[in-house]
Amino acid sequence: MNTEDRIMSALEEVIDPEIGVNVVDLGLIYGITVDDKGSAIIRMTLTVPECPLADDIVADVKQAASKVNGIQHVEVQLVWEPRWTPALMNDQAREEIRARQSLV
């Protein structure tokens, strides 16, 4: 598994607190690049630009990526294009959301 894949795997532990699903399954991670010095740049979005927990989510993403062996520095770039839509979620996210809604 390459470093980008290991980071993506680590980001599966970062949960969007309002939705209760991880940022990877939600489709919020748009790209990860890592240079030979261990610096990672993570391009991501949020479900809405005015997300009140944006700082917390970004901090959690940085922390999770920093735990990957060989990563020395993490930069998170929040991007708004393309705009996030529910179509970016994977099947796992859809199932988790449906399960939560059926409990209500």
Question: The pTM is what?
Answer: 0.93
Nearest to 28 by CA among 58, 1, 50, 6: 58
Instruction: Please provide the distance, in angstroms rounded to a whole number, between the alpha carbons at the two ends of the chain.
Output: 39
For 48: left if phi > 0, alpha if psi spans -120 to 50, otherwise beta; the answer is: beta
Per-residue pLDDT of the chain (104 residues; tens, 9 = 90+): 899 999 999 999 999 999 999 999 999 999 999 999 999 999 999 999 999 999 999 999 999 999 999 999 999 999 999 999 999 999 999 999 998 877 66
The answer to whether the CB of 20 falls within 8 A of the CB of 96 is: yes
